[in-house]
Each structure stands twice: as structure tokens, then as C-alpha cells.
Structure 1
């Protein structure tokens, strides 16, 4: 009887240790994940989401080596797992930064940088707010939580538990993610930049033909209305392109190493 109780106690201790290690990584990642880690989300909701992801990911992750829960082991795993979790979360968060940067570029190009700029928690232009909120709605609707769970499970292949991320992995995997995020931002904002260039070229020609006409006052409402109408036309295609890139990254994050 005592032997059975001791065996159950050992198994329970191993399960709690395993769940604790998984929770360290997932809790840090959820704090910066899109939609789940926003400033407007209460901390209790974030904690509940982290526990829910832990219950999903922990059974799918191979059991770690039997490490006694000493103070040194807890400290080492806490530092490494929290660091890895933040790296994982930031890698997904870069896609939101791409939307924000694209909205800022588009807003500056179409004179919409100040319209409704402070409507959300972050001071973004109106186009940036629309793109970010639309991206959140599209991602959650398309099953963001499922892809994030798969991404967290696959992260243990790239970043083993208890091991500091190698410098080679950070340079070959992290740096391309930053560059691709900025590249995506410029691609998403390309229609607005092109329209702005055509608009300014047209104003320059009109100003040369009629110097006495205040073309800036006449053209300002035109570029604002044109920017809003262009946003109405291209926003679905831009968000679809953005979601495809985010979905592909979460399915195969190791692609950046190739």
C-alpha cells in the first residue's frame, strides 16, 4: 500500500514539474502573443489563457529528463524557458508590428496620420488602427489559438527545454524575421504610397500650370477621401496576404533556418 502511494506521489511530482516547465515558456509567450497578450486584456484572462495552453501543450511535449526540483534547477529552467517564451511570442508579434508599420506609412502618405489616431491604447494612425483590429478579428476567426498551440508544441524542436538559445539560431532565425516584417510592411503599404506619389505629381503639374491656385487646399480633401476609399478596396486583400504569411510562419517556423 505504501509502495503504491509512493509511486503515485512520484508520478504526481513528475507531472507537476513537467507542467511547471511548460507553463514558464507558455506564460511568457502568451504575454506578448497577438490578441491574447494585448494591454486591454486583463491579467487574469491572460493567466487563464496561459493555463489553457499549458493543458493543451504539456501532454504533447515529450517528458523532460527527471530533474530534481532543486533551487538551481528551478532558477536555470526559469531563466531559459522565460527567455525562449519571450522570443517565441515576439516572433509572432512581429506580424502585428508589420501591420502597424504599414498603417503608419499609409497614414503618412494619405494625410490620415492624425485622424482617430488615439482611439486605441497605442497612438496609431487611423489606417493602422483599422488594419490591426481587422487583423485581430481575422486571425481569431480563422483559429489563431489552434495555430499557436501547434507553434508552441513545435518550438521544443527548435529550442529544447533548459538550454539557452544558440547564437547561430538567433542570427539565422531571429534576424530574418525582423527583416521580413519590415518588408511585409512596405508591401502592404505599397498601394497607398503609389497613390500618394501620383497625387503629389498631379499637384505639382497643376501648380506649375496655375501658380495662383492654392492646390494644397483643393487637393487635401481629395487625398483624404481617396485614401479612405483605397483602404475600403484593398483592406481585404492586404489582410488575406498578411494572414497567409502568419499562418505559414506558425505552421513551419523552422523555414527561416533554411
Structure 2
């Protein structure tokens, strides 16, 4: 009984520490690419959050048990807000890949090919890029990088403290701007192909007005878009993965 009595304070401290870490980890895991997708069952997400908690908790400074209900509410709000902010920052990279696929599909007249076949309505080209990007991220150790980022986040977002609103909003706007920049960068080859196609189509129509250039050009732009997707996908996904890895290594650093 004496040994159990001596063990109880340690267990109480460990439980509160794990609970505080779980709040941030669970909020982030719900938005984490691949692990937090809408197609993943809620029970699997809970298991993922608990696994991340077990991996992260030993590396985080010990959290003392709240003294009253007010401290508990403050701890819960700050940790959930921190986890959601980090999760949204990572989720923006998936949205950037989705936006790039949509731009590429509209530029190459492939926007209606198998569109709306999944949870989020988007062209098939977007599905190809997202599935390939998520698979590549998981294969290169997304779970390890995410755990390291969570541990690093406690230096910038301490437990139990609200981040200044102006700082958080400025950081969020910078992440959104980076996501759109990345999306347009990834879709640039398809936009260039579309511009060249329309210029060539206009020149042909000017030279031969009687020719139905739309019927001739439609198969060309479709085949060219598919061929460009085949050739450019590895480079597109590698650029996207490098950008996301840079964020995971330093989520609060300057945007590139």
C-alpha cells in the first residue's frame, strides 16, 4: 500500500501531462494529410492521435495538473488552438495540390473527366496528384516529420499561453499566400501548354477560316495534357514534397 501511495502522484502527473499533449496532437492529427482525411474513420484517427501522443509526450516538458476549472479550460483552449493552427498550415499543402490539379485540368480541357467521383468534387487530374502526393509523403516518413514538428512547436507555442492575434493572423495569411503560389507554380507547365495551344489555334484559324479548328484541336490538347501529366508528375510531386518538408522542419520560419 505504501508503494501504491507513492506511485499515485506520479501517475496523476503523467495522466495530466499526456492529456495536455493529446489535446494539441489530436487537433493536428484531425487535419494531418493522409491520416486525417475524411475517408479515414474517426476511430482510426483517435488511434493515430494516441500513437502520436505516446511518441511526443516524453520529449515535452512536464505539465502540472491544473489547480481549478479555469486553468483546465485555458489549457484546453490554448492547446486545441495551437494544434488546429499547425494542422491547417499542413492541410494548405494538400489544398495547394488540389488547386494545382484543378488549374491544370481546366487549362487542358480535362476538367470534366471523371470529375466529382470522391468526397471533394474535383477533376480526375487533381485526384491523381493528391493520391500520388499523399502516398509519397507517407513513404518518406510523414509521421516522423509530423512528430518532430509537434515537439518543435512547443518552443514557439508554449503550453497554456495564447498566441498574439496579430502574429497568428500574419502567419496564417503568409501560409495561404504560399499555398496559392505553390499551386500556380505546380500548374505552370499546363498553363504554358494551354497558352501555346490557343495561340497556335488562333494562327491556324486565321490562315484557314473554313477549317473547324475546334474539332482538330480538342484531341490535341487532351492528348497533350495527359502526356504532360505523365511526364511532369514526378517533378511536380517532388517540388510539392520539398515545400511541405520545409514547413514541417520550420513551420514558423520565413515563407519561400
The TM-score normalised by the length of structure 2 is 0.96
Q: 1:140 aligns with which of 138, 155, 160?
A: 138
Distance in 1 separating the partners of 2:67 and 2:241: 41
Query: Residue 71 of structure 1 corresponds to which residue in structure 2?
Result: 69
Distance in 2 separating the partners of 1:11 and 1:102: 51
Query: Residue 24 of structure 2 corresponds to which residue in structure 1?
Result: 25
Distance in 2 separating the partners of 1:78 and 1:96: 27
Instruction: Indicate yes or no: 2:15 matched with 1:51.
Output: no
Give 1:174 shift.
2.1
Secondary structure of 1:94's partner?
Answer: helix
Structure 1: runs of 5+ lacking an equivalent:
none
Moved over 4 A (4+): none
User: Is this contact kept in 1: 2:186–2:236, CA < 8 A?
Assistant: yes
User: Is this contact kept in 1: 2:175–2:255, CA < 8 A?
Assistant: no
Q: Note the alpha carbon deviations across 1:1-35, whole angstroms, 9 max, x for none.
A: 54x43331111001000000100111111111100
Distance in 1 separating the partners of 2:182 and 2:143: 23
Q: Note the alpha carbon deviations across 1:16-67, whole angstroms, 9 max, x for none.
A: 0000010011111111110000011011100000000000000010112x23
Give 1:257 shift.
8.0
Query: Residue 40 of structure 1 corresponds to which residue in structure 2?
Result: 39
Distance in 2 separating the partners of 1:178 and 1:53: 26
User: Is this contact kept in 2: 1:172–1:257, CA < 8 A?
Assistant: no
User: Is this contact kept in 2: 1:17–1:69, CA < 8 A?
Assistant: no
Structure 2: runs of 5+ lacking an equivalent:
none
Distance in 1 separating the partners of 2:19 and 2:213: 65
Give 1:169 shift.
2.7
Query: Residue 80 of structure 1 corresponds to which residue in structure 2?
Result: 78
Distance in 2 separating the partners of 1:40 and 1:112: 25
The TM-score normalised by the length of structure 1 is 0.95
User: Is this contact kept in 1: 2:178–2:255, CA < 8 A?
Assistant: no
Aligned residues: 256
Give 1:69 shift.
5.2
Q: Note the alpha carbon deviations across 1:85-115, whole angstroms, 9 max, x for none.
A: 1111000111101101101110110001110
